[in-house]
Structure 1
Amino acid sequence: MSLVEERYQKWINHPNLDARYKEPLANMTPEEKNDAFYTTIEFGTAGMRGLLGPGTNRINIHTIRKATQGYANYIKANGEDACKAGIAIGYDNRHMSRELAFDCADLLAKNNIRSFVYDSLRPTPMLSFAVRYNKCFGGIMITASHNPKEYNGYKLYDDKGCQLVPKLADAVIKEVNAIEDELAIDANCTEEQKKLITVMGDDVDQDYYKHVLSIQLNPDVKKDIKIVFSPEHGTANIPVRDIFKLTGYNCIPVEEQCTPDPDYSNTPTPNPEQPGAYEMALDYAKRYDADIILVCDPDADRMGVGVKHNGEYVVLTGNQSGAVEIEYICSQLKEKGLMPEHPVMFNTVVTSDLGEKVAADYGVETEKTLTGFKFIGEKVAKYEVSHEKNYVFGYEESYGSLIKPFVRDKDAPQALLMLAEACSYYKERGKDLVDVLNDLYDRHGTYEESQVAIALTGEAGAARIKEILANLRADAPKEIDGVKVVRSEDYQECTITENGKVTPLTGFTKSNVLKYYLEDGSWIAVRPSGTEPKCKFYYCVKGTDKDDAHKKTLNFQKAMDALTSK
């Protein structure tokens, strides 16, 4: 009997199998069976994310219980105080999110661990906030972020509200992997143990709102703008509209996308990185002559922005909106004499160079991290203790930023408020946010940033992703589309290759990332996605103007496609 068949038979015949999974298991095709059982869903440094359904390679009540029991064992190993401090639990609008969240609370209670679980869906940044608000030992967020409706996931947080960094995640992974039979775990706690579960509500929300309002740099700015806002059926609907109401902005919600619909019925995609997320919002913007469009992904850590410019709506990339945020924040801090000593901004190794140049113009240092906001949160915690540097801003190219670190994850409600303020501020001065971006290009050079993601699903897809990276390591490109590679960085081997010399690359956790710097000031990076079955290619292309940058981007993309299709 094959390993797949062995696992399948164990599941379909197990007395503890949740009844909802019996029929789907019985009706699986051989291909579906193989994909559901060829491996166990990976509990990695970003937690777990995958397709919903029965099987060891799926998100379901049994695989989530295995992860939670492993986490519970980790908590107990940290002592009685950790169990008493407890775990904050949040969840989004996806299928099974609420059920999984309360099942986690029951299982923790069965292990005599306290928990604080939200009474209804909330954004991921509010879960991060709740960890800190309740002085918890950690947190659990049930979400698949921006992924399609078929997905769900599981994120873990530390006592600072930051997703677990590799050192801590590895300790949890060890406990999770030690559990051999996920089907043997139940969450049946006693009535006395149930008392360990606290349901959170409005009191935490109000304190979060108070902190969000504190980010305003010009709270009295003339709010003569119209905002079209969409939560994309997700968690941002209530908090973002509440925040705009409290601050006096005219927010026009895309009503059809305000229901917490797990099927995302009225949007082609809930992902702000994709054009479909803006379709209905664009219709609203044209109808109401809006100045700005703001959208959030389902768990409201990522956000997207569209700007009315010369009568047309321009959707900014995460790199572009990040650069605009940096410009506005730094300019206002400097103007008001509020720029701290030793200011620092954080972004990642796949984030555009433009933001770094903007920050440098205001005397703000940039420190780079690997992808994953947990690494930015780790930096924040470090300097919070040492006081060597003072936080000004943090962001990723993937449409996520953090204005003030009372949250330790990407925080879309903060970003949306700051962008609304910046839009209002510049409108008073006869500019829109695209004008601001064009001014940055004039000052720092024109950049075009893009990302190409190749979806490679299943067992064969996972093998192909490994092969692409392995081939690039074995036969490193010397030039790309005729432009010389002057430096390469390998974050897995921890090496820098430049002028024929190999030197150590330090300051980063090992990660399967390759980055190539080109003679013309551009760079290209390649990495597997940590949350989806995709291989991602990042392009930061410097041109003499927008047309030149775009032409070069297309050529580089074709060249990389040829290099990796071998």
Structure 2
Amino acid sequence: MSGEAQAAAEYRNLAREYLSREEHPVFRKELEELLASGDEKDLADRFYTRLAFGTGGMRGVIGAGYNRMNPFTVSQATQGLANYIRKAVGLEAKPVVVIAYDSRRYSRLFAEEAAKVLCGNGIIVRLFPSLRPTPELSYAVRYFEATSGIVVTASHNPPEYNGYKVYWSDGGQIIAPHDSGIIEEVRNVTGSISRIPLESAMARGLFFEIGDAVDEAYLSMVAGCSLRPKLMEEKGKDLKVVYTPLHGSGLVPVEKSLSSMGIDVITVPEQREPDGNFPTVEYPNPEEASALKLAIELAQKEHADLVMATDPDSDRLGLAVPEDAECSSYRLLTGNQTGCLLADYIFSTRSELGRLPSDGAFVKTIVTTDLQRRIAESYGITTYDVLTGFKYIAAKIAAFEEGGRERFLFGGEESYGYLVTDKVRDKDAVSAAFMVAEMTLYHRSRGTSLLKRLEEIWERYGYFQELLVSRRFSGAEGVRKMADLMDSLRSRPMQQIAGLQVVEVADFLKGTRCDVEGHGLGKLELPSSNVLQFFLEGGSKVTVRPSGTEPKIKFYASVACEPELGLDEAKKLAGKRLAAVEETIDTLIGS
């Protein structure tokens, strides 16, 4: 028998094994029909590997098989989580897990499967009765003083995906030592999975549906983020916002929080209702211009002051603002630009009102623009860089609390995630939308706009422009290609990028900083991660990072131009440099 035939036979054996463990009829039927069809390629993709439970939980295509999101893989992961909780906390402590889910296909089913397994292991579960934003799950973990939390979501991925993220007692996504401990327990789940029906769990005092009190507390917290509450109360009625939840979970909290201030919120009717098929967009991602197309068209008709979009689990916020007084055209803001405007508003307002603490701290990821660092430092605020992933921002907040030395003021990442409060420990599009509305009203009261303020920021601190290039690599061959590319960049680092000399290479996997000749420049203090950063002359940089949740590799480029150059010339130069950087990246990845 050839190697290919042996592999096909093994995949069929695994498929039969899966069928013996999967109880849901829809997923069983899907695989039974696939086996009957003889599609060996599809079968191989479902069984050549197992859907990995990593440091960010798990995310994958919905379907039958070990390499898919389905009731069995969710139950298996939850059994591992339950085993870890029982060892780390103990049932005598009466551990509690809060569960939320978004509008994706099978999200409610997967949430209930997780609840059945946790209750079957003697762990108390509090489940939201309908879809809720990811940031509200984070808030609820802290509200209930829970041991852990789960949110079923694939964030902004295409409709065929779903996912499962785990949180710990601080409300942040799991980090060391819990991440590795849970991963190990999930890998060790090979036998039976304990589960009980939710009706039985309720009768035994193990299962509870969450009532309205958490929603009310969360919305009260959002309103409490206001830095100028009187401005919102007096001028909110003068602001018109077009909003789209992109068929996701942001609808109720965003509408309620903004409307409570008298703001005229007009929600895109075609995208208002939750729908896991996301029929009006290719990707439900507020980073994509196409996702805001309907919202911008409605804004032009309504002459809206602001366009807002949240992704399906409402942790990311996208914005578009008018380019003229007639609102005939709108400009999309990048995640970095929105982050700069928020940092500028929060720090300057606190300074003006005498509420800027001497120990204030700002936290951003290593791929987020350094323009935000310049803004923070101009107000005497310490900036901390962390690895990509909001869980590291949450961990920094926890460290501030434990050490009692710094006070968190704001955090953000370039991928449209912001945190304007320490009451939530994940990016929060709901509270960020509330703060953006207040910021817009404030600048209007000064006779200016968000776009004009952004230009003022560039003129003062320098012009920064960023570029993100992503390339997807599917299947086992794609994983190998990504690994080969990272190995090549480590062994033969680039000497020049876009005509600019590389002056430093930071390898976060090895924890080293060196020049292009390999001479050591010091150690990195962040956790080990498969990331490379190339620092160029003049303050520009290029970061290379395989995604931790998707089969893709990402290149983040940032070009910096000093204020002395003048804004018009800086924009031209930055554009040319980024075009050259993109050419280099295309060559590397074989475009």
User: What TM-score results when the alignment is normalised by the length of structure 2?
Assistant: 0.93
Matched, 1:314 2:324: no
Match of 1:185 among 187, 193, 198: 193
Matched, 1:272 2:286: yes
Matched, 1:170 2:187: no
**Could you tell me whether the CA contact under 8 Å between 1:138 and 1:158 is conserved in 2?**
yes
Give the deviation of 1:21 after TM superposition.
2.0
Given the superposition, is the C-alpha separation of residues 499 and 61 from structure 1 closer, same or farther in structure 2, using an over 3 Å criterion? closer
Matched, 1:298 2:312: yes
Paired residue for 2:582? 557
1:101-250 aligned at under 5 Å gives the runs 101-181=111-191, 184-185=192-193, 187-189=195-197, 192-194=200-202, 195-221=205-231, 222-223=235-236, 224-250=238-264
Which of 427-436 and 145-154 deviates more?
427-436
> Which amino acid in 1 is paired with 2:193?
I
**Could you tell me whether the CA contact under 8 Å between 1:456 and 1:534 is conserved in 2?**
yes
Matched, 1:526 2:526: no
Match of 1:538 among 556, 559, 574: 556
**Could you tell me whether the CA contact under 8 Å between 1:300 and 1:413 is conserved in 2?**
yes
Give the deviation of 1:5 after TM superposition.
3.4
Paired residue for 1:23? 29
Match of 2:448 among 386, 407, 431: 431
Given the superposition, is the C-alpha separation of residues 185 and 20 from structure 1 closer, same or farther in structure 2, using an over 3 Å criterion? farther
Give the deviation of 1:190 after TM superposition.
7.8
Paired residue for 2:426? 409
Which of 354-363 and 496-505 deviates more?
496-505
Matched, 1:458 2:472: no
**Could you tell me whether the CA contact under 8 Å between 2:358 and 2:381 is conserved in 1?**
no
SS in 1 for 2:173: coil
Paired residue for 2:3? none
Paired residue for 2:71? 61
CA distance in structure 2 between the aligned counterparts of 1:52 and 1:504, rounded to whole angstroms: 44
Given the superposition, is the C-alpha separation of residues 373 and 436 from structure 1 closer, same or farther in structure 2, using an over 3 Å criterion? same
- Deviation track 1:180-228 (CA, whole Å, cap 9, x = no partner) reads 25xx436334855333111002110000111111111112222322111
Give the deviation of 1:232 after TM superposition.
0.4
SS in 2 for 1:139: strand
- Deviation track 1:378-420 (CA, whole Å, cap 9, x = no partner) reads 0100111211111110001110010011000000001001011
Given the superposition, is the C-alpha separation of residues 421 and 120 from structure 1 closer, same or farther in structure 2, using an over 3 Å criterion? same
- Deviation track 1:299-327 (CA, whole Å, cap 9, x = no partner) reads 00011011112243110110000000000
Matched, 1:375 2:400: no
> Which amino acid in 1 is paired with 2:313?
D
> Which amino acid in 2 is paired with 1:187?
R
Paired residue for 1:422? 439
> Which amino acid in 2 is paired with 1:106?
K
Identity fraction in percent: 37
User: What TM-score results when the alignment is normalised by the length of structure 1?
Assistant: 0.97
CA distance in structure 1 between the aligned counterparts of 2:184 and 2:92, rounded to whole angstroms: 18
Give the deviation of 1:103 after TM superposition.
1.6
SS in 2 for 1:493: coil
Matched, 1:328 2:328: no
Match of 1:259 among 264, 273, 295: 273
**Could you tell me whether the CA contact under 8 Å between 1:342 and 1:364 is conserved in 2?**
yes
Give the deviation of 1:27 after TM superposition.
3.6
CA distance in structure 2 between the aligned counterparts of 1:10 and 1:328, rounded to whole angstroms: 57
CA distance in structure 1 between the aligned counterparts of 2:530 and 2:317, rounded to whole angstroms: 26
- Deviation track 1:415-455 (CA, whole Å, cap 9, x = no partner) reads 00101111111011121111111111101111111211101
SS in 2 for 1:157: strand
Which of 82-91 and 39-48 deviates more?
82-91
Matched, 1:506 2:524: yes
**Could you tell me whether the CA contact under 8 Å between 1:110 and 1:190 is conserved in 2?**
no
Given the superposition, is the C-alpha separation of residues 185 and 81 from structure 1 closer, same or farther in structure 2, using an over 3 Å criterion? closer
Number of aligned residue pairs: give it.
563
> Which amino acid in 2 is paired with 1:93?
S
**Could you tell me whether the CA contact under 8 Å between 1:97 and 1:142 is conserved in 2?**
yes
SS in 2 for 1:247: coil
CA RMSD for the aligned pairs?
1.6
CA distance in structure 2 between the aligned counterparts of 1:15 and 1:404, rounded to whole angstroms: 44
Given the superposition, is the C-alpha separation of residues 285 and 111 from structure 1 closer, same or farther in structure 2, using an over 3 Å criterion? same
**Could you tell me whether the CA contact under 8 Å between 1:76 and 1:83 is conserved in 2?**
no
Which of 146-155 and 218-227 deviates more?
218-227
CA distance in structure 2 between the aligned counterparts of 1:330 and 1:16, rounded to whole angstroms: 53
SS in 1 for 2:64: coil
SS in 2 for 1:462: helix
**Could you tell me whether the CA contact under 8 Å between 2:504 and 2:513 is conserved in 1?**
yes
Matched, 1:85 2:95: yes
Match of 1:344 among 340, 361, 375: 361
Paired residue for 2:565? none
CA distance in structure 2 between the aligned counterparts of 1:490 and 1:64, rounded to whole angstroms: 34
CA distance in structure 1 between the aligned counterparts of 2:46 and 2:198, rounded to whole angstroms: 33
CA distance in structure 1 between the aligned counterparts of 2:374 and 2:364, rounded to whole angstroms: 12
CA distance in structure 1 between the aligned counterparts of 2:441 and 2:107, rounded to whole angstroms: 37
Matched, 1:52 2:62: yes
**Could you tell me whether the CA contact under 8 Å between 2:74 and 2:113 is conserved in 1?**
no
Given the superposition, is the C-alpha separation of residues 499 and 562 from structure 1 closer, same or farther in structure 2, using an over 3 Å criterion? closer
